[in-house]
Structure 1
Amino acid sequence: MKHYKTIIIGFGKGGKTLAAALANQGHEVAIIEQSKMMYGGTCPNIGCIPTKALVHYSKLSQLKDLVTHEDKAVEYRIAIEKKTNLTSALRHKNFDNLDSKENVTVYTGKASFVSPHEISINIDEEIKVIYGENIYINTGATPIIPNIEGIHDSEYVYTSTTLMELSVLPKRMLILGAGYIGLEFASMYAGFGSEIIVLDANLELISREDRDIAQVVQDTLEKKGIEFCLGAKVQSIHDTEQGVVVTYHDTDNTVHELYADAVLLATGRKPNTEGLQLQNAGVAVTERGAVQVDERLQTTVPHIYAMGDVVGGLQFTYISLDDQRIIVDNMLGKKKRTTRDRINVPYSVFMDPPLSRVGLSEAEALAKGYETKIAVMQAAVIPRAKLMEESEGMLKAIVDAKTNKIIGCSLFCAESHEMINIVQIAMETGQDYTFLRDHIFTHPTMSESLNDLFQLIQ
């Protein structure tokens, strides 16, 4: 049985970065990935990179001049080919970066625990068992498939992963789920020219956001032709000769049928622990099925750690990367870093325009007892937005009235995914809101609108 100082299960952002870091310290490392199509993890293969690439392609100017669905479908097919070539190149680069290291062994197969130190790898139906002094779980998350009649039998039902492999542009697509993933895909495919209807059982859109922001998001997407059916409880999905029909009940319990040629499941993702046989190692999981870890990402077994989406919480690539930093610091560094250090984590939803936020919403701030100062500004007044002809959206800032510290910011506007990092840095460094109000930005840029936004704080 081959012995390793380190075994990493999963080739995601945290796993691959940790493998390189430990290998550079002289550790003998084994990294296991169940699919040759997933070297590098979710982000470069089925997540951040391919979706953002398609968002970019859907906004290209030549699409705006096309009238027929057939012409738009050609551009869509070209975009899918570009996306596929991009992810393929990244995947090979990720593999080569580790495979080229003398003390790293890459195994491609399904891993499962035999004991606290032994890992079984199913490689093309052959079993290989290896031993690890320390083991790290980085297996990510997988789409949630809701319990809906006919969902497993339909040929027209897709997840966010499988939809991006479809080379034929749907004329009409139903999206089940109006969360961040659903809205991102709705905006993207509407940009390509698909007719989009979004169904969600909730009565409010993106309930985590303030109602004024959520309303502007909904209004903006509706201007793009996206239709929302909120309070819709899907009962069944059935294929027909022409495509697929989705049956749902509205809030009055009235039955409706919608026809389409594609259905996207955007109902969330769950930690991917299936088949790991964690019980053989004594590793506990939470009620939601995530690997249970402490603030240093240690599981209930001292030499086994977990990182990234598999531990639950925020499912972002940059969180997985920071998890890796915490592990490395506690193994090789000063043992000071923990997950408690992460206070103001920004996020972006890559709709058109993107929605980005950091800190508390106004509703959350009030619930926590803050006395607040609020600034709200329309994106249409920003010179840069006007010249780019991307003037949809709204900006909102929340400030603690007693301390003048920024406690939250929501930006629904062009380039908000870049701007939000500036706000986050100001928050992390403890700046008063006046720091951004009076800061010198280049002109004309979207970031200089932070001057105007925080000028509105009174």
Structure 2
Amino acid sequence: MKQYDAIIIGFGKAGKTLAAELSNRGWQVAIVERSNMMYGGTCPNVACIPTKTLVHEAEVSALLHHDDFPQQANMYKQAIDRKNRLTSFLRNDNYERLSKRPNVTIYTGTGSFISADTIKVELPESEIELKGKEIFINTGATPIIPAIDGIQQSQHVYTSSALLELSVLPHHLIIIGGGYIGLEFASMYANFGSKVTILEGGNKFMPCEDRDIANSVKEVMEKKGIEIHLNARAQSIHDTNDGVTVTYSDVSDGTPYYVDGDAILIATGRKPMIEGLDLQAAGVKVDAHGAIIINDQLRTTVPHIWAMGDVKGGSQFTYLSLDDFRIIRDQLFGDKKRDIGDRDPIQYAVFIDPPLAHIGISEEEALKRGYSFKVSRLPASSIVRTRTLRQTDGMLKAIINNHNGKIMGCTLFCTDASEIINIVAMAIKTGQTSTFLRDFIFTHPSMSEGLNQLFDV
């Protein structure tokens, strides 16, 4: 049995960053990763980086070859090739950076708990046991596969990661699930030239957003030719000579419908990846959703075992995984004051076209809580930069406290929203009032100067 100061299960953002930090401090570290295709974790291999690469390629494709499917299909194939080269480079780079450290050992195999301080690793041709003083679980999340008749038998059903390996552009992509992942893929494939149909089981489009924002997004997506069906519960999937057919029913009245396509994306959410870890052997508890239970400092129900990233549930963002590392670093080596509550509110972005970004509370939430506030709305087309970019779709919205002028929430549905939201986040987190952004001197022409107008209320 080999002994280590730290064992990290999973080669994700938090895990690899923590490994480097512990290595710099002289700790002996073992990293256990089940797949040699996942060094670096979900983000650089099957999520953020490949999808955002293809989002950009799709926008270029739409500009150059709109309504020319053969040309766009060719561009899609090239884009997939470029994406594969990029992810391969990042994966190898992540491996090399850690493997070269003298006190870091990488085990490519499946890890599971034998006890609270011992991990069994099943390697391709052998098995080894590792003992660790501190153990960190960083195994991420995996797609939820719904119980739909025929889903396991179909040759045309894909998860988000599997679809990114498909080098042939679908003529008609059917997406089951209208959450953020589904919307991102819908926008991307529509820009590449695919016909896209979204089947969403709920009765509200983007239920977490204010209705004016959701309606604006829906209008833009439908302008791209994306069909959105609400109250649509998928009943069965079966392959045909020409592709695949989804039979679904209207939840409100039970009316059956069907839609034919040549690829189906399952985008019904993700769940913590705990299968095979044998957490019970270590005494680590999970909640009803399978998320590892943690305290505010990321310790599990066993104090020397920690959980980082998506496996602990909640918002699934790479930048939060990185902040998980910072919290653990502070707990191990700092003044032990950092915890998960310090980072609220958290900004996020959805990379549809144009992107949607948000921080803080919505108008609907502010009304429910009884706040006194004012709302500012600005059409994206009012910002001159959208004219120079020929990207005038969307709107910007802000919620401002009437009593102290503080920014309570902001939603940006416009080009460069994923960048501009960070400016708003810094204003909120440094305690600025809305006049700070109203009077700030931004470069011209830029999207950020739209904040001058948005906060001029």
* Band the TM-score falls in, shorter-chain normalisation: over 0.9
**What residue is the counterpart of 2:233 in the other structure?**
233
**What does residue 31 of structure 1 align with?**
31
**Cα distance, 1:279 vs. partner?**
0.4
CA displacement at 1:344 relative to structure 2: 1.2
Structure 1 residue aligned with 2:163? 163
- Relative to structure 1, the CA distance from residue 149 to residue 61 in structure 2 (aligned partners, 3 Å threshold; closer, same or farther) is closer
Pairwise CA distance, 1:61: 5.4
The question of whether the paired residues in 2 share the 8 Å contact of 1:196 and 1:227 is answered with yes
Q: Which amino acid aligns with 2:151?
A: I
CA contact (8 A) 2:40 2:94 kept: yes
Aligned to 2:202: 202
Q: Which residue in the other structure is 2:419 paired with?
A: 418
Q: Are 2:234 and 2:246, in contact at CA under 8 Å, matched by a contact in 1?
A: yes
Q: What aligned pairs does 1:362-377 form with structure 2 within 5 A after superposition?
A: 362-377=363-378
1:389 paired residue number: 390
Q: Is the 8 A contact 2:348 2:359 kept in 1?
A: yes
Looking at structure 2, the residues matched to 358 and 68 of structure 1 have their Cα atoms a distance apart, in angstroms, of 38
**Does the CA-based 8 Å contact 2:61-2:192 persist in structure 1?**
no
Residue aligning to 2:350 = 349
Q: d(CA) in 2 for partners of 1:82 and 1:263?
A: 23
Deviation at 1:94, TM superposition (A): 0.3
What secondary structure does 2:397 align onto?
A: strand
The change in CA–CA distance for 1:412 and 1:446 in structure 2 (over 3 A counts) is: same
Residue 252 of structure 1 and its aligned partner are, at CA, apart by 2.4
Q: Sort the Cα spacing of 1:62 and 1:226 in 2 relative to 1 into closer, same or farther, 3 A.
A: closer
**Equivalences, count:** 456
Deviations 1:333-361 (A, max 9, x none): 11110011121100000000000000000
Cα 1:61–1:243 shift into 2, 3 Å:
closer
Kept after mapping to 1: 8 A contact 2:62/2:193: no
For 2:346 and 2:396, the matched residues in 1 are separated by 18
Q: Classify the secondary structure of the residue corresponding to 1:59.
A: helix
Which residue does the alignment assign to 1:270?
271
2:142 matched residue in structure 1 = 142
Shift of 1:365: 1.2
CA deviations 1:413-443 (Å, max 9, x no partner) are 0000000000000000111100000100000
Q: 1:342 to 1:150 in 2, by over 3 A?
A: same
1:112 correspondence with 2:112: yes
Amino acid at match of 2:233: K
Q: Which amino acid aligns with 2:149?
A: E
Within a 5 Å distance, the mapping from 1:271-286 to structure 2 comes to 271-286=272-287
1:64 Cα deviation from its structure 2 partner:
3.2
Of 118-127 and 374-383, more deviation after overlay is shown by: 118-127
- Which runs of 5 or more structure 1 residues have no equivalent in the other structure? none
Q: CA RMSD in A?
A: 0.9
Please tell me the residue identity of whatever aligns with 1:23.
S
Aligned 1:42-441 pairs, distance under 5 A: 42-60=42-60, 64-65=64-65, 67-250=67-250, 251-441=252-442
User: Aligned-pair distance for 1:302?
Assistant: 1.1
TM (normalized to structure 1)? 0.99
CA change 1:362–1:62 in 2 (3 A) is: closer
In the alignment, is the contact (CA less than 8 A) between 1:354 and 1:416 conserved in 2?
Answer: yes
Unpaired segments ≥5 residues, structure 2: none
3-state SS in 2 of match to 1:408: strand
Secondary structure in 2 aligned to 1:274?
Answer: coil
1:162 and 1:122 mapped to 2: Cα distance? 25
CA distance in 2, matches of 1:323, 1:94: 19
Q: Which residue of 2 aligns with 1:14?
A: 14
Query: CA contact under 8 A between 1:6 and 1:134: conserved in structure 2?
Result: yes
Greater CA drift, 356-365 or 64-73: 64-73
Q: Distance in 1 between matches of 2:84 and 2:262?
A: 23
- CA–CA distance in structure 1, aligned partners of residues 431 and 63 of structure 2: 44
- What amino acid is the match of 2:15? G
- Post-superposition offset of 1:72: 1.4
2:369, 2:87 → 1: CA distance?
43
What are the Cα deviations for residues 19-76 of structure 1, in whole angstroms up to 9, with x where unaligned? 0000000000000110000000000000100000000000115753354322211110
CA separation in 2, counterparts of 1:287 and 1:400?
A: 37
Deviations 1:317-348 (A, max 9, x none): 00000001000100011111001112110000
Shift of 1:256: 0.6
- Contact kept, 8 Å, 1:63 with 1:72, in 2: the verdict is no
Decide whether the 8 Å contact of 1:6 with 1:29 is kept in 2: yes
Deviation digits for residues 257-292 of structure 1, max 9, x if unmatched?
Answer: 100000000100000000000000000011110011
Instruction: State the percentage of identical aligned residues.
Output: 55
Write the distance in 2 (CA, Å) between the matches of 1:136 and 1:163.
Answer: 30
CA contact (8 A) 1:393 1:413 kept: yes
CA distance, structure 2, for counterparts of residue 7 and residue 146 of structure 1:
33
Greater mean deviation of Cα atoms: 248-257 or 55-64: 55-64
Structure 1 pair 431–63 and aligned structure 2 pair: CA distance change class (3 A): closer
